[in-house]
Chains A and B, each alone.
Chain A
């Protein structure tokens, strides 16, 4: 178990800069999720921590030791890859024991470790099978087993669930989280799925274009997104972000509709953010035209149009309405987010 510090990490491929000075501090035993759209540099950062990519600038330290020039095998880490990377010509047992075999561990210790990991992951019956004889979820477990037999200081996961179907993904999500809590190993987990990030992380690091947009606890990011990118990225369905200007009577959006503002709203707000779940049906609200009604059972999502501007609301009530009908909705003023012209959150 260890801390991981990334300080001003830079990465360039040729003249293209992928990471522009990234700082992340990870405490001992913490579960950190790097999340962002594809191409944001999250996987590159993980691979730099693993030692699979050179570090073009800055510093990465594991347990206080700078590892910039330390080869992967000496970093005391274990990594789970997106496509599992199981050795196809070895059985599950051989796959899990491979790292110990390379380290010339005694056979009895090797077998004991494999048995322990197999027990934790429920792989006891599959030890003599080959990877091709396993299902997606089982392969995923073997990949994790291969990681835990080594007792590494840090677990690294690179989009481990993206090859699984939706149901299995939810199940493996909780299995990974539970395993991590049980072992207490520092974990860095890369995903593009913000729901995975929200449900699993102690700390989320939101990345975009090779920079960190915001990092913090999942709910802190949800409640107080630092900028438009994080506001739009965290939360599902996504936050409504409406451009417009502040006036005396409210926030005017291009259609001319006035949205209610919280008291003491900053005058330079250029974007009005409200989450779909933070709106209610009310006669005092603003009137829009229904474009789409999507009932999910537990709630109903309604897409409304105000001129050219589209707004989505999610309501506990079962909304009766057809496209073209009028509906009045009211944003919860305590939960309105305002952003300045530069996209940064304005204090309210």
Chain B
């Protein structure tokens, strides 16, 4: 109740109505702890525990890993880099990482380019039926990939793209473009219309307006669409499993599951090390742009 005591002079100066008493009680420290920090801690523990488990397992020698009776499962007594060394030098992990990066970056760039043009046209050019086009793009997003991969597989085969990175670079946009387009439509909407009209009078063409006025103001939106696309491409599993066969062309999520599990033997240490290294680029990417990401989902352009 210390906070309530601090608030007391203010409360005295006005009428101590019941409403005020209620807010004071609400703000009390113990209440905040029970209602705010405790649930928040539970939530954080549940969310972060898998990462902790992954990290701990990646650095644990096999002796500790398989013997819970003598070793604390939540801690490492003698950490080792064996699993990481095995992963990097005895498997094609660097190659998988490179393929995943290539596929993610290319799919992201491709999707962003298409989404910017689509979103701008739908939001600003307002051609006949533009809102239906917007709706149709969104409906495409609702088709689950687990169904879509069957017809896509036929197309990938016929185009001769099977087992090449292009199979993924060209299929990932099927789910990336709809979401990015919708995100960017919302973002473009927040940019005042008058800016473009003013540029139109100043003598700019549509392409110049898009390039010199709209896109510089939509950078936070572009960044969050980019992060979204990159993350989804990086984590994608079904298409990568279906369209890639050879070991060296696999992406990280598929490869660690198919190459590091031999028969019924799970190489837990290497598996976890692979997952840990695989999730680092996304985590780093996020931490750089988290402010932009949040602002693009909540904020608007301020003059």
Contact = CB atoms under 8 A, between A and B. Distances in A.
Interface of A: 50-52, 71-73, 77-79, 81-89, 98-99, 102-103, 131-132, 146, 150
A82 B200 CA distance: 16
Contacts of A84: 303
9 A-B pairs with the lowest CB-CB distances in the bound complex, closest first? A85-B194, A99-B202, A73-B203, A85-B198, A102-B203, A81-B194, A72-B201, A89-B216, A88-B303
9 contacts: A51-B200, A51-B201, A72-B200, A72-B201, A79-B201, A87-B199, A99-B202, A102-B204, A132-B302
A83 B201 contact: no
Contacts of A71: 200
B188 to A, nearest CB: 15
A255 B112 CA distance: 73
B302 A85 contact: no
B217 A79 contact: no
A52 B126 CA distance: 14
A295 B111 CA distance: 68
A200 to B, nearest CB: 22
A50 B217 contact: no
B192 interface: yes
Question: Which residue, B197, B199, B201, B302, has most C-beta atoms of chain A within 10 A?
Answer: B201
A81 B213 CA distance: 16
B203 to A, nearest CB: 4
B203 A89 contact: no
B200 A83 contact: no
A81 B198 contact: yes
Contact of A52 (B192, B200, B302): B200
B302 A81 contact: no
Interface of B: 192, 194-195, 197-204, 208, 213, 216-217, 301-303
A84 B194 CA distance: 8
B213 A78 contact: no
A88 B219 CA distance: 13
Contacts of B203: 73, 99, 102-103
B201 A78 contact: yes
A98 B202 CA distance: 7
Contacts of B302: 88, 132
Contact of B192 (A77, A85, A89): A85
Given A83-B194, A84-B303, 5 more contacts: A51-B200, A52-B197, A86-B303, A102-B202, A146-B202
A77 B201 contact: yes
A112 to B, nearest CB: 18
Nearest to B204: A102
A132 B217 CA distance: 14
B10 to A, nearest CB: 32
Contact of A81 (B197, B216, B301): B197
A83 B196 CA distance: 13
B202 A89 contact: no
Contact of B202 (A73, A88, A132): A73
A87 B202 CA distance: 12
Nearest to B193: A85
B212 to A, nearest CB: 8
A285 B64 CA distance: 110
Contacts of A102: 202-204, 208
B201 A87 contact: no
B219 to A, nearest CB: 9
Contact of A83 (B192, B202, B213, B216): B192
A50 B194 CA distance: 13
A295 to B, nearest CB: 36
Contacts of B217: 88-89
B197 A131 contact: no
B204 A83 contact: no
B238 to A, nearest CB: 40
Given A81-B194, A131-B303, A132-B302, A87 B200 contact: no
A125 to B, nearest CB: 20
Nearest to B202: A99
Contacts of B301: 88
B201 A50 contact: yes
A52 B199 CA distance: 11
B158 to A, nearest CB: 45
A73 B201 contact: yes
Contacts of A81: 194, 197-198
Nearest to A99: B202
Given A73-B203, A99-B202, A83 B197 contact: no
Contacts of A88: 195, 217, 301-303
A320 B214 CA distance: 62
A82 B192 CA distance: 12
Nearest to B215: A89
Contacts of A78: 201
A275 to B, nearest CB: 38
A156 to B, nearest CB: 8
Question: Which residue, B197, B204, B216, has most C-beta atoms of chain A within 10 A?
Answer: B197
A72 to B, nearest CB: 5
Question: Which residue, B200, B202, B216, has most C-beta atoms of chain A within 10 A?
Answer: B202
Contacts of B192: 83, 85
Nearest to B201: A72
Contacts of B201: 50-52, 72-73, 77-79
A73 B200 contact: yes
B87 to A, nearest CB: 45
Contacts of B198: 79, 81, 85, 87, 146
A103 B198 CA distance: 15
Given A77-B201, A102-B202, A87 B208 contact: no
Contacts of A132: 302-303
Contacts of A150: 202
